[in-house]
Amino acid sequence: ETGVTQTPRHLVMGMTNKKSLKCEQHLGHNAMYWYKQSAKKPLELMFVYNFKEQTENNSVPSRFSPECPNSSHLFLHLHTLQPEDSALYLCASSQVAGGGDTQYFGPGTRLTVL
C-alpha cells in the first residue's frame, strides 16, 4: 500500500445527488492532489493543495468543490454532476507541491453518474 487511502472505492450517484469523496494520507506530506482519469484520456490534474492552501484549480467546473481541512485530509464534494463526470478519481500526495517530488497515489474512487 502507498499510505494514501480513498473512500469510497465505488460510488454510483444520480445527477441531483450530493456526495463527497475522501482522501487521507499517512505519509506526513504537505501537498495533496485530485486527478480525474477517464477512459482513453490522459490523467487530468484537478486541484492542488500545498500546506492546506489551494495552489491550483485546473479550470474545474464548480460542481466539484475541494476541501482540505489539514495536510492529511482532502475531500472532493460533488453536486449536480453530469454523466460525463463518470471516471476514476485519484488522490495523491507528495512532500511538497513540486514536480520534482514523487507523488503517492491512492487506489481511486470509481464514480458512476446516472
Partner 1 sequence: SQQGEEDPQALSIQEGENATMNCSYKTSINNLQWYRQNSGRGLVHLILIRSNEREKHSGRLRVTLDTSKKSSSLLITASRAADTASYFCATDGEYGNKLVFGAGTILRVKS
Three-state DSSP class for residue 71: coil
Report the chain's terminal Cα–Cα distance, integer Å: 31
Nearer to partner 1, 27 or 79 (CB): 27
83 binds partner 1 (CB under 8 A): no
Of these, 42, 53, 69, 70, which contacts partner 1 (CB under 8 A)?
Answer: 42
Is residue 59 at the binding interface for partner 1, with CB under 8 A as the rule? Answer: no
Residue holding cell 477517464?
A: 38
Does 40 contact partner 1 by CB under 8 A? Answer: yes
Does 111 sit near partner 1 (CB under 8 A)? no
Question: β-strands 10-13, 109-113: how paired?
Answer: parallel
